[in-house]
Structure 1
Amino acid sequence: MTSISCVDATVLYGGTTVLDHVTIGVEQGSRTGVIGPNGVGKSTLLRVLAGELTPETGQVVRRPASAGVLFVPQGREVRAGETAVRYIARRAGVTAVREELETATAALTDGQRGADDLYAEAFDRWLAFGAADFDDRVGPLMTELGIVDPEQPADRLSGGQLGRLALASVLLAQPEILLLDEPTNDLDTDGLHRLETYVTGSPAGIVLVSHDRAFLAATVDRVVELDEFTRTAQEYHGGWDSYVAERAARRAAAVRAQEDYAGEHRKLTETARTKREWARQGEQKALNPRRQPDGDKFRKAAGIAGAQNTGSAATTAQRKLSRLEDSAPPVVREPWRLRLSIAEAPAAGRVALELRDAVISRGAVRLGPLTLTVLGGERIRFTGPNGIGKTTLLNALLGRLDLDEGTRIAAPALVVGEIDQTRGLFTGGRSATDIVCAATALTPTDARTLLAKFRLGGDTALRPADRLTEGERTRAGLAVLQARAVNCVVLDEPTNHLDIEAVEQVEAALAEFGGTVLLVTHDRSLARGIRVDRTVDVAALSHRLYS
């Protein structure tokens, strides 16, 4: 059976330990979810398994050595001049095995030594990755996913459309070991269903990093949690629900062990201290002439012996204390948690936003005429498949997209806080600190203090926004949201690139917020956890949707 094992791997970045002696094995047919806070090394572990990153210690073993391993990263970067179909081929690993086969064929034609073996291996991988019939399979799937032009430039597509291309690359991939980094980002309900069906039915061994609790519950049979303090890996068998229960039980047991240890430590410390003090006082009394007025040497000797016995008891207690400390249980440390709150500005009025007889167009999307009224304090979720126009409708409501026809009305007192799908605020060469200052009017010192609370401290706060990870950009956006008093929150796929604990904090903050909420999300757990007053299904507007 094909397998890949990461054995005792340690990875350092700039002297900082990211992974510490981590061991994980993957076999064909297994389903492993890797979880942990942002920045703990989940993507790094996938890169180590993929062979893209060599650990300082330990090794990665493939059995057989020619096993086909594909790593699909979470980023949606498009290369210059890349079309939709070429984007899919690259991410599915087909482009790489094609190029490998072409190079091996040229070497074989030239009669190079060992070229026959290289060609055989390259040909096997070409077959294993499904390159032989890729062109036959990609067209129908693109049609199913609504990608009408395979040759359209990929850099002109929306986030949702790129999500569908990324999904297509996974559905078409045929490796023996598949490594997926946040595969659910930007997927709609149909895409999530397709991905779940593929993951649960694929013969490949699959390791996936995901924040989507519903997806993890539906797909994995094992969970590997990376610890932010020790940088080690803890393995849990039995799927997501079993992990949640076992982790809670382990933590409760660890807390009890720590409490028992602390109680026994206090008891022995006090016993040793008390016995030492009694011994000291007993010896002083025995040697004090005023305590022995008749000069009875036997009484004096008895007093000294009693003091020595008490001292021996103190020594015994100290030895027990030393043995206890040698077997002390691990310290139960509280993990870092995002503490998000949304400051509320005074209500904007009875009507916050309104579109009247509006016609809206962006690219192939054209909506309208439609009328939509958003009341002050109303909570609306916009649903529909990717590319249907959810973000386009939000942009029109917010005044960022000019209407072809109709009228937009916004309350004069409306103050909007936003997490957009592309995290567009944090782009370019300015630092995160400078962007926060500009968006909130905070001083640089206060901005850095705020960012540190969102785990963006030190040099990270001064790094150009273009060099921030997706998770860092998302947390920076949440920092801006917290720093400004608003009466309308707009969230477009807010959980992309957030860890599970941070997603839960977003849920809690929205539960406390009393202003208007406009939400786009395909995160099923988040959707269940947030109260909404109304759902607007953009796909249901099809009788007013034309192209």
Structure 2
Amino acid sequence: MNYLSAENLAKSFGDKWLFRNVTFGMSRGDKVAIVGANGTGKSTLLSILSGQMPPDEGIVSIRKDISVGFLDQQPELDNSLSVIEVVLTGDNPALTAIRQYEKALLSDNPDALDRAMQQMDTLQAWDYETQMKQILGQLGIHDVAQPVSTLSGGQRKRVAMAQVLIENPDLLIMDEPTNHLDLETIEWLENYLSTNNSTLLLVSHDRYFLDRVCNQIVELDQQTLFSYKGNYAYFLEKKAERQAVFAAEVDKAKNLFRRELDWMRRQPKARGTKAQYRVDAFEEVKDKAHQRLNNDQLELNIRTQRLGSKIIELENVSKRFGDNVLLDHFTYTFRRNDRIGVIGKNGMGKTTLLNMITGELRPDSGKVVTGGTVKIGYYTQSDLVIPDNQRVIDVVQEVAEVIKLGTGETVTISQFLQHFLFDRAKQYDYVHKLSGGEKRRLQLLLVLVQNPNFLILDEPTNDLDITTLNVLEEFLLNFPGCILLVSHDRYFMDRLVDHTFVFEGNGKVADFPGNYTDYRERKASQPADRKPAEKPKAISPASVPESKPVSGTETKRKLSFKEQREYEALEKEIEELEQRKSRLLDQLNSGDGNHEDLTAWAREIEQIDQQISEKSDRWLELADYI
């Protein structure tokens, strides 16, 4: 059964076409995701398909007897209403019955209440009300009497999501549904949508979410839609094949174009004296040969200042707002190459911790000590605040005129912007013309051009396209400094962090030795009635891996998960170093090589001996706890 169809859609802004001649269709049960680079028009296409915006060309048809729900990326809610009034504004008959019942409860009219209860019975709305409360609870909406005008942006998104989910439409259209949700809520939403019978159309950059929820991926690229029947992993495989075929076709067209161009030049200039069919074919080959291959990549290779021995020390830091305790005597000493993920429900204090580390917020007690060599780069959730009349290149040049790369090479701001996929035309666009994702990319660039050696990233994946995320991950994997990361993107978190701060509530924070998936698997394997004392310990000086028992009577501790992995890796590393040393000794004893070779081999042997000594000492230290 066909639910939605679109034929020959086109949309432009000014002289720029986002897409043209786009044809698209959905049937009952389809769960489709639209992906693509920032600025290609994904959100615009979603708005057109949902009827929120008219196309410049083409038509959209939606089956008349189905209901449609739309969740905007930045929903607009009536500030004069309360949360419950917004949630119950749908046209669903069950919602109408619930509204009448809630109204009758507040009245002194027994007859009205009786009629409302009968209507609830007739429509089986009691189950509907139970489901409504469950959805509100899972989305963290507890104060349903709260005025909408007092909600934050993230809370407004949750209320809008609750509204469309409670309506339970036949066709559900959602723009970036996982933004502003904590990890547990995302997993609940993922399970809800994957098991729900509704037909789904969404835009999202959450790769785990796409892989587990969707059965069709549609990519918007070069003003055209490419459809793939399968989940996100299948899409990646088939997209790579498509790009390889396309590159081969363009390369073939370029070779043919050179031959045909030579023919065109050698023939008489008057077009009428040439074979017209060959002239027409030449124009087609010319267009094909000049198609642009999408080989742009972000080369985020920034020179950073070396960190000293003292980085950042948090000593018994506490913070509360009223009766809400966010941090209670939190202690941690950052070390070189720390890569820490921060997880926990919204409102537990994750951003508060980041703000205290950067000095934007003072702790109620305790202290934050920052080393003299530390240069913090802080990427926040706040939107980029820039005057509308500023151009992209001017914004960056206010921070730096040139950029020094890790290779020692110096590049201009214009060259660096191109690495961030801002072509020369886009560099001179006004900032207000950028898409949400392009503004986020610019904001990230402004942090990195300052050459930080301690990166603090608060939800950096919001609004970034998947291509940008992939390259950002590669940069962060090779980043030589410390990283402190808050993100709801589980794939992003899993690739980058080696241990996590888990906000458990009431100011308690646990240091878990592993990434997010490690934490979830460990948590799932624990018995439901496990005692609190057996949970991961709150961070304290004794939880730092190098620490040892403070007294001889204390029970001998065991290796943490992270230390066990380090212990196993050291065995392999020492063995490899020994093998390398043996090969070098054989080369020295063979008599081959000139004087420079012999000197280089001897120097490398000396370095390997030093490494073996250091790693052996650490291996013996860890072996004491086996």
**Structure having the higher Rg:** 1
Higher relative CO (Cα under 8 Å, sequence separation at least 6) belongs to 1
The aligned runs of 1:226-375 (5 Å cut-off) are 226-228=220-222, 231-264=223-256, 326=284, 330-331=288-289, 333-335=292-294, 337=296, 339-341=298-300, 343-362=302-321, 364-375=324-335
The aligned runs of 1:420-439 (5 Å cut-off) are 420-423=380-383, 425-426=384-385, 431=390, 433=392, 436=395
**C-alpha distance after superposition, 1:415-474 (max 9, x if no partner):** 111221233x4367674659946972559xx7777656553855875345xx75431321
Higher mean Cα deviation, 241-250 or 485-494? 241-250
How far apart, in 1, do the equivalents of 2:484 and 2:333 lie? Answer: 12
What residue number does 2:447 align with?
481
How far apart, in 2, do the equivalents of 1:399 and 1:156 lie? Answer: 27
How far apart, in 1, do the equivalents of 2:229 and 2:279 lie? Answer: 37
Give the secondary-structure state (helix, strand or coil) at the position aligned to 1:388. coil
Q: 1:433–1:242: structure 2 CA closer, same or farther, 3 Å change rule?
A: closer
**C-alpha distance after superposition, 1:395-428 (max 9, x if no partner):** 12222222111112122332111221233x4367
Q: 1:323–1:56: structure 2 CA closer, same or farther, 3 Å change rule?
A: closer
> Quick one: which of 415, 420, 423 aligns to 2:375?
415
Contact kept? 1:49, 1:60, Cα under 8 Å: yes
Higher mean Cα deviation, 452-461 or 176-185? 452-461
Q: 1:160–1:410: structure 2 CA closer, same or farther, 3 Å change rule?
A: farther
How far apart, in 2, do the equivalents of 1:141 and 1:376 lie? Answer: 43
Contact kept? 1:380, 1:518, Cα under 8 Å: yes
Provide structure 2 residue ranges, at least 5 long, that are not aligned to the other structure.
101-121, 268-273, 403-411, 511-626
**C-alpha distance after superposition, 1:293-312 (max 9, x if no partner):** xxxxxxxxxxxxxxxxxxxx
How far apart, in 2, do the equivalents of 1:474 and 1:70 lie? Answer: 28
Report the alpha carbon displacement of residue 20 of structure 1 after superposing the two structures with TM.
0.3
Q: What letter is aligned with 1:73?
A: D
**2:480 corresponds to 1:514:** yes
Give the secondary-structure state (helix, strand or coil) at the position aligned to 2:234. helix
Q: 1:319–1:54: structure 2 CA closer, same or farther, 3 Å change rule?
A: closer
What residue number does 2:549 align with?
none
**C-alpha distance after superposition, 1:202-253 (max 9, x if no partner):** 222211111112211112111211123xx12122222322222222112222
Contact kept? 2:247, 2:293, Cα under 8 Å: no
Q: What letter is aligned with 1:57?
A: E
TM-score, length of structure 2 as denominator length = 0.65
The aligned runs of 1:523-534 (5 Å cut-off) are 523-530=489-496, 532-534=497-499
**C-alpha distance after superposition, 1:257-276 (max 9, x if no partner):** 333444455567779999x9
How far apart, in 2, do the equivalents of 1:223 and 1:338 lie? Answer: 22
> Quick one: which of 374, 390, 395 aligns to 2:350?
390
Report the alpha carbon displacement of residue 42 of structure 1 after superposing the two structures with TM.
0.8
Q: What letter is aligned with 2:187?
A: H
Q: 1:80–1:459: structure 2 CA closer, same or farther, 3 Å change rule?
A: farther
Q: 1:177–1:486: structure 2 CA closer, same or farther, 3 Å change rule?
A: same
**C-alpha distance after superposition, 1:459-502 (max 9, x if no partner):** 875345xx754313211211202321111111111111011100
The aligned runs of 1:12-411 (5 Å cut-off) are 12-64=12-64, 66-75=65-74, 80-81=79-80, 83-86=82-85, 88=87, 137-154=131-148, 156=150, 161=155, 164-228=158-222, 231-264=223-256, 326=284, 330-331=288-289, 333-335=292-294, 337=296, 339-341=298-300, 343-362=302-321, 364-411=324-371
How far apart, in 2, do the equivalents of 1:428 and 1:320 lie? Answer: 53
Q: What letter is aligned with 2:502?
A: D
Contact kept? 1:265, 1:324, Cα under 8 Å: yes
Q: 1:200–1:539: structure 2 CA closer, same or farther, 3 Å change rule?
A: same
Give the secondary-structure state (helix, strand or coil) at the position aligned to 2:334. strand
Among the aligned pairs, what percent are the same residue?
29
Give the secondary-structure state (helix, strand or coil) at the position aligned to 1:440. coil
How far apart, in 2, do the equivalents of 1:258 and 1:234 lie? Answer: 18
Q: What letter is aligned with 2:40?
A: V
How far apart, in 2, do the equivalents of 1:441 and 1:264 lie? Answer: 45
How far apart, in 2, do the equivalents of 1:215 and 1:69 lie? Answer: 22
How far apart, in 2, do the equivalents of 1:263 and 1:368 lie? Answer: 69
CA RMSD of aligned residues (A): 4.0
What residue number does 1:285 align with?
none
